[in-house]
Amino acid sequence: MLETLPIYAAGAGALALSLPRLKRRLELSRAKHPSLAGHSRIAKAVARLVPHYEYDDDIYFRADGAPEDVAARRRDAFFALAALYRERFAKSAACTEAAAASLADLQFTGRYRVPFQFARLVRQHLRGGGFLQASRGVRLTDLDGNEFYDVSGSYGVNVFGYDFYRECIADGSARVASLGPVLGACHPIVADNARRLRAISGLDEVSFHMSGTEAVMQAVRLARYHTGRRHLVRFNGAYHGWWEDVQPGIGNPLPPRETYTLKDMDADTLRVLATRRDIACVLVNPLQALHPNAAAPGDSALVDSSRRAGFDRAAYAAWLRQLREVCTRQGIVLIFDEVFVGFRLGLGGAQDYFGVRADMVTYGKTLGGGLPVGVVCGRGDLMKRFRDNRPADICFARGTFNSHPYVMGAMQAFLDRIATPSVRALYEGLDATWDGRAADLNRRLASVGLPVQVANLSTIWTVFYTRPCRYNWMLQYYLRAEGLALSWVGTGRLIFSLDYTAAEYEAVAARFLAAAKAMERDGWWWYSPGLTDRRIRRGILREMVLHRLGFGNGRPDEAPAAPVPALPE
Ligand SMILES: Cc1ncc(COP(=O)(O)O)c(C=O)c1O
């Protein structure tokens, strides 16, 4: 008995020592979102198991178990739309097809437009085109001369209308023409831009980069350097560019490393932040306020109607205040990634809009005045890349094209213009205007019983569907036929520029309604009470298992949620 005492004591000691670690580990698990996206490693493993298969003609138009007459209506409509596309978009489609073989980017975006089971027929018959020839105001012209209202927003870059950026680029180029493309030493405009960005961000220092991804990389790298900690926290579903550490899981060939992906707007996350000592920074993409914990809603993942969105400004502001408080207490660097929303929600960006200050802010997209850019603004102590007392301990960051004179010229022209009364006026009553427009469209859709609605964060809209359905992804092709230009993520993201007039908005709304009515007329939204989103997903899962086991095409009622790569916004 006496001999075993030391063993028990050692065991009890070890247990006592490991209990706090175990507790922290459990807290971390609890703070992960229950979805696949919340578990990057598992998501990667599951993604590798998803087999490729396609629906044959028999199933394609009745994957939801619709009766034969509805399937026939859909089939006829599909090929009628195909004929219209063939005629109307002939040149654009031919150019896209010829170029795609040598453009990896085009192949990728072309592949992820609809759920893969339906993709082949769509690629074959509904070819729109990845090329355009002109822009004017809020309109775009394709190679066939068709005009579209632009709701793609150029990935969010287009805040003030294309003519605005055209002017910024021309004006900016003239401003730096005497120096030309000299790199290394800066054009004086760089200093002026830095001064103005300090005023806008309320932060001490600025660094210039070539993309939003690079700006985020640099902000995280500096946070690690100054805190001496390795991990970054990002929120479930949030996009921060395509660099390894901010895109763990599907889409990244490497397993996740020093990234914790935690639940957005959740007390479990605050508990983790309050107790762990290995967290360097928290990355916040305020766009997530529109769909917390969900990824950018691309139509390639639109396998059912479970997409939801809704913006609660007060609730999100309260969440940011809690984050601010815990980060301050724990010495964690709070980074607002405003690459998307900066200058779109207001001139002071998300910091002003939600009334919370960050330690670092990244900007990009629109700030380049139409040219590529990424910017980090931060507290002086965090931006420093060397230590006075340890000369070899540096945080290296350079980039050949950083502070490129032409980008800096366009940026200065951009900053000049946004300070003018006419641009400032665009922000007056901005949310009221766009909330009103979204509500108006929703009223009109509901009044004619169409199962589709929109949710918005100011000028950023997403479409969601109110009745279980497997064919919502078809809506993007009807919208295009009506003359609306969407980005490759389809109805998941409509982005308006602030200069849309009431008449131009009305034209978009009328076209949206017409497209939705045509979807309904053509039977895509056929519904039977037994059809639920859950049943659809279960059916697809079963279908995938059958395919993995080598049992050909699944049956219509066996038909689910294929994980797809996180889609850039
Ligand atoms: C919030 C956010 N951060 C970073 C990025 C990456 O920017 P870029 O595409 O310029 O690399 C994006 C792009 O969509 C973004 O929306």
Q: What would the two tokens of residue 373 be?
A: 């850019």
Q: What is the pLDDT of residue 448?
A: 97
Q: What is the pLDDT of residue 231?
A: 98
Measured in angstroms, how far is the CA atom of residue 353 from the centroid of ligand 1? 20
Q: What is the pLDDT of residues 436-449, one digit of tens each?
A: 999 999 999 999 99
Q: What is the pLDDT of residue 562?
A: 39
Q: What is the chain's alpha carbon radius of gyration, rounded to the nearest angstrom?
A: 26
Tell me what the mean pLDDT of segment 525-543 comes to. Answer: 94
160 Cβ inside 6 Å of ligand 1: no
Measured in angstroms, how far is the CA atom of residue 428 from the centroid of ligand 1? 26
158 Cβ inside 6 Å of ligand 1: no
- Tell me how far apart the alpha carbons of residues 299 and 33 are, in angstroms, rounded to a whole number: 22
| Sole residue written with tokens 């590798």 | 48
- 66: phi then psi, degrees, rounded to nearest 5: -65, 150
Measured in angstroms, how far is the CA atom of residue 90 from the centroid of ligand 1? 32
With 60 as the cut, is the pLDDT of residue 553 above it?
no
The residue nearest atom 5 of ligand 1, judged by CA position, is: 241
Report helix, strand or coil for 279: strand
337 Cβ inside 6 Å of ligand 1: yes
- CB neighbours of 405 closer than 8 A, spacing ≥ 6? 176, 179, 180, 181, 182, 183, 186, 187, 189
* Closest atom, ligand 1, to C-alpha of 372: 10
Tell me what the mean pLDDT of segment 529-545 comes to. Answer: 93
539 Cβ inside 6 Å of ligand 1: no
DSSP at 307: -
Q: What is the pLDDT of residues 205-221, one digit of tens each?
A: 999 999 999 999 999 99
Give the predicted TM-score (pTM) of the model: 0.93
How far, in Å, are 23, 333, 483 from residue 325 at the CA level? 23, 11, 47
Q: pLDDT over 90 for what percent of the chain? A: 81
40 Cβ inside 6 Å of ligand 1: no
Q: What is the β-pairing status of strands 494-495 and 460-465?
A: antiparallel
* Closest atom, ligand 1, to C-alpha of 362: 3
The residue nearest atom 16 of ligand 1, judged by CA position, is: 340
* Closest atom, ligand 1, to C-alpha of 568: 14
- Tell me how far apart the alpha carbons of residues 528 and 558 are, in angstroms, rounded to a whole number: 16
